[in-house]
């Protein structure tokens, strides 16, 4: 009897360990559908990112300055991302009037962000996460299949950012709305890169967060 109890205890321990590992949100997922983004009530990770001029900055320090809308996008090469940012520009004034700052984070290098910065009039702060620290911290990263990586390179001349194992990584498109303490109050994450929330939805969520805070 004791032997069976011991076996059961070991099995239960293994099950608990597996569950904990499954909830490790900093792990890069094997595919977009398996990402585990941080949820409402979580705090923005304390990681270092870079501004478009290459200066290192604490993401946590940035988001605790004022209410923040954090946008994860794939890069300036992505037409869906460009369209999303263009649509958000239509509500820019209202978001700023509500007291928000807007941070757009991608795995692209600061050098690539510089050209995007020159091409946009949108009052958004472009952030480079080429170390993938923020993408890991928010739990939105996934590995890109090698054939897809090659396709982006061959057809669009896009070199995707890779981790230390030389596997290409992208973030699932995501929006997090944080209050002044850096706490997530709203999140929208969709593994389908072609689906983005409307500007109207983002504005409504941002206003609701301000009312509740």
pLDDT tens string 4-56: 333 333 333 333 333 333 457 678 999 999 999 999 999 999 999 999 899 99
- Residue 151, token pair as written in the block: 């396709």
What residues make up the domain containing 65?
26-212
**Average model confidence (pLDDT) across the chain:** 86
Angle between helices 79-89 and 199-212 (to 10 degrees): 60
CA 132 to centroid of chain Cα atoms: 10
Residue 7 in domain = no
Question: What's the pTM value of the predicted model, to 2 decimals?
Answer: 0.85
182-192 pLDDT, tens per residue?
999 999 999 99
Q: Is 101 inside a domain boundary?
A: yes
Q: In the structure encoding, which two tokens stand for residue 202, read together? A: 């983002």
Instruction: Report if residue 193 sits inside a domain.
Output: yes
Domain count, the chain: 1
In whole angstroms, give the CA distance from residue 184 to residue 188.
Answer: 11
12: in domain: no
Residues 101, 65: Cα–Cα separation, whole Å? 9
Residue 82 lies in a domain: yes
CATH number at residue 40: 3.40.30.10
Q: Is residue 15 part of a domain?
A: no
User: Does 31 map to a domain?
Assistant: yes
């Amino acid at each position: 009897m004791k032997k069976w109890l011991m076996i059961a205890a070991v099995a239960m321990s293994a099950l608990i360990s597996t569950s904990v590992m499954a909830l490790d949100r900093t792990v890069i997922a094997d595919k977009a559908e398996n990402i585990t983004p941080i949820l409402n009530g979580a705090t923005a990770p304390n990681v270092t990112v870079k501004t478009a001029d290459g200066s290192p900055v604490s993401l946590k320090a940035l988001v605790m300055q004022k209410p923040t809308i954090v946008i994860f996008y794939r890069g300036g090469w992505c037409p869906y991302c460009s369209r999303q940012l263009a649509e958000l520009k239509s509500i820019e004034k209202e978001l700023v009037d509500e007291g928000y700052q807007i941070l757009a984070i991608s795995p692209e290098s600061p050098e690539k962000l510089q050209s995007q910065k020159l091409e946009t009039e949108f009052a958004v702060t472009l952030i480079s996460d080429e170390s993938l620290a923020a993408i890991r911290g928010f739990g939105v990263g996934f590995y890109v299949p090698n054939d897809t990586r090659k396709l982006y390179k061959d057809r669009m001349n896009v070199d995707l950012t890779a981790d230390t194992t030389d596997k290409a990584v992208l973030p699932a498109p995501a929006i997090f709305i944080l209050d002044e303490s850096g706490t997530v109050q709203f999140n929208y994450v969709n593994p389908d890169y072609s689906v983005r929330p409307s500007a109207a939805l983002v504005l409504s969520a941002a206003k609701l967060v301000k009312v509740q805070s």
